[in-house]
Each structure stands twice: as structure tokens, then as C-alpha cells.
Structure 1
Amino acid sequence: MSTTDNKRKVTVGIFVFLGIVIFVAGVFILGGQQKRFEKTIRVNAVFDNVAGLRVGNNVWFSGVKIGTVKEMKFYGDSQVQIIMNIEQDAQKYIRKNSKARIGAESLIGSKLIEIFGGTEQAPEVQNGDRLVTATALSTDDLMTTLQENNKNLVDITNNMKVLSTKLANGEGMAGAILTDTTLADNFKTILASLQNASSNSVKVSKDLARLSAKFNTEGGLANELLTDTVVFSNLKSSVSQLQQTANSAAEMANNFKEVSSQLNSSNNTLGALMNDQELATNVKKTMENLQTGSEKLDENMEALQHNFLFRGYFRRRAKAEAKERDANKQEVEQVQQSPEPR
């Protein structure tokens, strides 16, 4: 065997060895990525539509990869059963009442199965258990919803266009406010009036607050009226007396009314004097006659005093009256001069 042949064999052996090493490393790397060499349990779920899910796709829990899709097969009439390999390390976090749904890594990414939910009171999932499935929103549904939203957006845009056109043309109340200066001035006047009314309301509120504070001030009349029962009783008594006085005044007014009605009548003396002109004239003549008679009587008495037959009588009467006056004067002087009692 020549040296050239030996070199060729060594070179081939090296390349074969390197190929075997690369192959084994690739197997271990791919197996590690697919977690082929880790202990797993099998869990299944039944879906109505897998939406393009394939064997080998990932299984996620809380955003972390915990297994892969092992097998897919039809189940029942039109459903699909998905068998998943789940790592034993993640088994304690998945409960029997957890749910499974089909999702995607991104909007156009690969499909995956997402396990979510579950309560701590429920036991851990076991090998061979079936999870309840939840319907996920598919890409078609998303596109349908997006298309519907686009239609709504177009309608809203058209409505805004029509509304802005009407506002610019001064149509409607808002358009009139924006374009009609007279209406705008009236609106400003209304706002000013409302502002003044608001200011007045604030002032009234402050006045009411001050009045309330005065009512709560101890010693004040308002506070006494509101809190002191004695003052209230006195006030009540005064009001009762005023009511009685008012009743008496009303009764007196009724009496005056009755008297005035009688005075206006000719059926009594005063009424006849005030209302019967003939009787009043006769009474007046009678009074005049009496006055004339009295004057004549005085003249006659004066004449009698100067008559020699009655002159002595009147002199004796004058002396007796003078003597009586002197006696009364002396009695008064004696009383004034007597000492005051101690």
C-alpha cells in the first residue's frame, strides 16, 4: 500500500468521523429543541377546527413552551383530537379544569396550542386526561371584524363630512351659532345673564350662611327664640294677648259700626237730632229760648238785689258767706302752723 493511498484513507476517515459527529450533534440539538429526551405525559383535547395546526407545533402555558403536538386524528363526526406531549416539570402547574385553545405565535406565524386557566383547588392534570377546549378568534374572524370596523369608519367619516358641511353652511342650531352674529350675541347675552344669576346665587348663599351663623350665635334673639323654651312660651303668650286685643278691637269696631248705624237712623233721639232737620231746628230754637230766659232771669235777680224789699236779705247772705270764708282761711292757717309729726 502506497503512502498516497494511506493519506486518502485517513482523509476519508476524518471526513466520515466528522460527519458522524455532526449528525449525532444535530440529532441531539434537534431532539433538545423538540424536547424528545425529556420525560413527558400525554394530554389530549378535541377541537371543532384546528385552523392549520400541525404535528410538531408548540404547546404553551403562560407564554412558555411546555410541550409539542404529538398526534392529530379525526374524532367523532367532524372534530379533531389533538394529542400533546407535556413536560412533567410543568405538570404541577396545569389543573384538570384548565382549558386549551388554538392560537398563533404572531399574526402570520405558526399555530400553537395555549393552555390557560385552572384553579388551585383542582388536582393536577394526569397522563391521558382530556382538557376542555375554548374557541379562539381565528384570522378569518379577525379580518371580518376588521372589515366591519372599516365600514363603520367610512360611515363615520361620511357623517362627519356631512355634519361639517352643514356647520359651514350655517344649517341647524350649531351652524347658526357659528355663522349668525346676532344669534351669537344673544347667546353671549344669555351666558352673561346666567353668570350674573350665578353670582347673585353665590351672594344669597353667603347671606344665608351669615344669617344661619347669627341664628347659631348664643345670646342672640334668634337663637333664644329657636332654643329657649321660656322665651318661646313668653312670645307665645304675647301673641295670644295680641290676638285677644285684636279680637277686642274687632268687637269695638263692630260696636262703633252698630252705633254709627243707629246714629244714621231716625228711630232714636241722637239719630233724630243728627238726621231730622226739623227736630234739630226746634232743639236749636229751644236752646236759644233757654239762653234768652237765663239772661232775663239774671237781669231779674240783679233787679231784685237792688229792690228795697230784698236788699236786706242779700246783704245778710253776703255777710254770712264772707264770715264762712274767714273761718275756712283761719282753719287752713292753723293746720299749716301745726308741727309735723315725728
Structure 2
Amino acid sequence: MDLRENRRAVIVGLFLAIGLIVFILGVFTLGGQSKSFSKSVHISAVFDDVAGLKKGNNVWFSGVKVGTISDIHFTGPSQVDVKMSVDENSRQYIHDNAQVHIGSDGLIGNKIIVIDGGSPQAPIIREGDILQSAKIVSTDDIIKVVQQNNENLLAITSDFKLLSHKILQGKGTVGTLLADSMMGVQLKQSMHNLQIATQSAAVMANNLNKFSNKLSTKGGFADKLFTDTVTFNKIQGAVAQLKAAADNANILTQNLNKASNKLNSTDNVLGILLNDKASAAKVQTSINNLQQGTVKLNDDLEAAQHNFLLKHFFKERAKAKADSLKNAGKQ
């Protein structure tokens, strides 16, 4: 009996020793995961909504667990202060201008604190620092946005259904275009005309380009006109002469105008002759009388030459004239 009881006591002792060893290893393992036995720095952040965050949840930085949440409590209306314990070895990588936000450990996992950003120029975090928190998008907000998008999609679908129904009925421009084959032919012809007009515009642009290139050709008229001062001065002189000629023509036109006005008036002889028929008739009568008087005078002179009293005078006169002509022929 004594040997059996001793054996039982040894077995119980072994089980107790193994259990104690397992317990100690578990404590150290859990303590290592929660950083319970490592030196840490305590920081905090204030949130309007922690979305189910709990004490003991993890703190992550750049995808690495760097600490745990040590406490959560209210600090004011709708404000929650979340205190975090960050491993001292990770503190050198986290700067005091970093932001924190609430994330999830996986798709539907526990809520965690995620530390983002921070510039290397800023100081590293110290004991008691309060980091800036970023507003999180809650599930309710996501559901509201999805619901609103569904409503907008339903409205768009309804409008498109109504629009397609009107198009099938031939209403509107698109419906008429689909239902009226003649309109489709006209539209096709319009597009063809537009294409022709576009090609014509391209040809005209090409011709204008060629024309501008000719104008800028060295030694051409346009080049001389714009660059040769001698040619420009000649052209300017020709323009001045043309202007003077135009001025003279204008003066001549004015003088002719004045002469025409005088001829149309009755304050001068020519005007009277041209415009006053009675005066013109009188002048014509006077001219006729003068012509008749001249004829009679010639007849009288012819008769006087044959008069015996004056016949000797005219013979002497004719003889003297003949001698004068003879002497002039000898010289």
C-alpha cells in the first residue's frame, strides 16, 4: 500500500509541476504579445466615435503591432479619450505630428488603432503626447451612401426607361431620326456636305499657306515692298503723283461744273444763246443780215472797180502788187 500511495503522489506532483510550467510559459507568452513586460511610452488621442473599440485592442504602425490600448474613457460631450501604450523600441519611428484613426483587424475583425504618417523632421513622441485623430467613416455612413446611390440609380433607370420608351415611339429628335428613314438620309447627306466643306476649307487653308509663302519669298514684290526702302519710296512717290492727278482732275471737274452752270444760266452771252430761244433767234437774224450786207458790199466793190472814175486806181493798185510779188520772187 505504501508503495502504491508513493507512486500516486509522484504522479500528482509531476502533473502539478507540468501545469505550473505551462502556466508560467503562458503568462510569459501572453505578456510578450501584449508588451506587458517591456518598457513603453503612453500617448493618447481623442475621438468623437470609437466604433466599438475596446481596452486591450492592438495599436499598429506601418503594418506592425507597436502597442495596446490601455484605457478608454469619456472626456466631454461626444468625446472619447483613448490611451495607448507604445513599445519603447518603436517610439523612435513615430513622430508627434502623426495622425491616428480606427481600423479593423481584417474584414470583420476587432477594432484597432492605426498610426499614420508623421514627417521625419518632427520630434518623436514623448510621454503624455496627444496625437491628432482622423474622423472615421462608420458603417452607418457607408450604408447611407450606398442607399443614396441605390436611389439615384433607381431614378436614372426610371428616366432611361421613359426615354427609351419615347425613342421607340418616335418622339424627340433621336426618336424621329430612328423612325424616319428620310431624315436619316438627309442627315447622311448633311454629313457628306459637311465633309466636302471641311475638305474645301482644308484646300483653301493650303492655298492661303502657299500664298503667304510666296509673299515671304526673298526678292519678291511683297518682300521688296516690306523690306526695300527704295521701292517703297518709289511706290510712295507714285501714290503722291496719283493723288496730285486726282486733285487736278477734281479741280478740272469743278471748273467744268462751273462752266456748265454758267452755260445753263442766262447771265452771259453763251448762256443766252443756249437757253434763250428768242435771243438766239435775234443773233441768228443779225448774222444773216451781216452776211447779206457783206455780199452786197462785195457786189458794190466789184461795181466800183468797173467804174471809169475808179478803174485807173484799181489798175495801179494791181500793178503795184504784181511788181512787189515779182521782186520778192527774184530775191
User: Shorter-chain-normalised TM-score: which range?
Assistant: 0.7 to 0.9
Distance in 1 separating the partners of 2:229 and 2:324: 74
Letter in 2 for 1:250: N
Q: Which one of 322, 325, 331 corresponds to residue 329 of structure 2?
A: 325
Distance in 1 separating the partners of 2:247 and 2:155: 81
Q: For 1:212, what is the secondary structure of its paired residue?
A: helix
What do residues 134-163 of structure 1 show as CA deviations (whole Å, max 9, x unaligned)? Answer: 321122222222222222222222222222
CA RMSD of aligned residues (A): 3.9
Distance in 2 separating the partners of 1:99 and 1:136: 12
Comparing 73-82 with 55-64, greater Cα deviation is found at 73-82
Question: Residue 272 of structure 1 contacts residue 279 of structure 1 at CA under 8 Å; is this kept in 2?
Answer: no
Letter in 2 for 1:202: A
Question: Residue 167 of structure 1 contacts residue 174 of structure 1 at CA under 8 Å; is this kept in 2?
Answer: yes
State yes or no: 1:176 paired with 2:180: no
Match of 1:112 in 2: 112
Unaligned runs of 5+ in 1: 328-342
Over 3 Å counting, the alpha-carbon distance change for 1:213 and 1:300 in structure 2 is farther
Deviation (angstroms), 1:94: 1.6
Comparing 8-17 with 89-98, greater Cα deviation is found at 8-17
Q: For 1:89, what is the secondary structure of its paired residue?
A: coil
Deviation (angstroms), 1:131: 2.7
Over 3 Å counting, the alpha-carbon distance change for 1:318 and 1:94 in structure 2 is same
Question: Residue 43 of structure 1 contacts residue 129 of structure 1 at CA under 8 Å; is this kept in 2?
Answer: yes
Distance in 2 separating the partners of 1:65 and 1:94: 13
Deviation (angstroms), 1:323: 4.4
Distance in 2 separating the partners of 1:257 and 1:128: 111
Distance in 1 separating the partners of 2:320 and 2:75: 168
Match of 2:282 in 1: 279
Letter in 2 for 1:224: K
Question: Residue 66 of structure 1 contacts residue 87 of structure 1 at CA under 8 Å; is this kept in 2?
Answer: yes
Distance in 1 separating the partners of 2:113 and 2:149: 28
Match of 1:155 in 2: 155
Q: Percent identity?
A: 37
What do residues 168-218 of structure 1 show as CA deviations (whole Å, max 9, x unaligned)? Answer: 222223333333334444444444444444344434433443343344334
Comparing 229-238 with 115-124, greater Cα deviation is found at 229-238
Deviation (angstroms), 1:112: 0.5
Match of 1:220 in 2: 220
Match of 2:236 in 1: 236
1:70-149 to structure 2, matched below 5 A, reads 70-76=70-76, 79-149=79-149
Distance in 2 separating the partners of 1:3 and 1:157: 89
What do residues 207-252 of structure 1 show as CA deviations (whole Å, max 9, x unaligned)? Answer: 4433433443343333333344444444334333323322222222
Q: For 1:152, what is the secondary structure of its paired residue?
A: helix
Over 3 Å counting, the alpha-carbon distance change for 1:68 and 1:278 in structure 2 is same
What do residues 293-340 of structure 1 show as CA deviations (whole Å, max 9, x unaligned)? Answer: 597589779989xx995667646644552442243xxxxxxxxxxxxx
Over 3 Å counting, the alpha-carbon distance change for 1:105 and 1:293 in structure 2 is farther
Over 3 Å counting, the alpha-carbon distance change for 1:86 and 1:246 in structure 2 is same
Comparing 52-61 with 253-262, greater Cα deviation is found at 253-262
Over 3 Å counting, the alpha-carbon distance change for 1:83 and 1:313 in structure 2 is closer
Q: For 1:248, what is the secondary structure of its paired residue?
A: helix
User: TM-score normalized by structure 1?
Assistant: 0.75
Match of 1:289 in 2: 292
Distance in 1 separating the partners of 2:62 and 2:303: 150
Over 3 Å counting, the alpha-carbon distance change for 1:135 and 1:269 in structure 2 is closer
Match of 2:51 in 1: 51
Question: Residue 274 of structure 1 contacts residue 280 of structure 1 at CA under 8 Å; is this kept in 2?
Answer: no
Over 3 Å counting, the alpha-carbon distance change for 1:14 and 1:227 in structure 2 is same
Letter in 2 for 1:223: D
Question: Residue 305 of structure 2 contacts residue 311 of structure 2 at CA under 8 Å; is this kept in 1?
Answer: no
Distance in 2 separating the partners of 1:220 and 1:295: 77
Question: Residue 273 of structure 1 contacts residue 279 of structure 1 at CA under 8 Å; is this kept in 2?
Answer: no
Over 3 Å counting, the alpha-carbon distance change for 1:83 and 1:269 in structure 2 is closer
User: TM-score normalized by structure 2?
Assistant: 0.77
What do residues 95-152 of structure 1 show as CA deviations (whole Å, max 9, x unaligned)? Answer: 2232322221233221101112333343221233333333211222222222222222
Over 3 Å counting, the alpha-carbon distance change for 1:82 and 1:249 in structure 2 is closer
Distance in 1 separating the partners of 2:84 and 2:250: 108
Deviation (angstroms), 1:281: 3.4
Unaligned runs of 5+ in 2: none
Letter in 2 for 1:248: N
Over 3 Å counting, the alpha-carbon distance change for 1:222 and 1:252 in structure 2 is same
Match of 1:339 in 2: none
Letter in 1 for 2:89: D
Over 3 Å counting, the alpha-carbon distance change for 1:23 and 1:303 in structure 2 is farther
Letter in 1 for 2:251: E
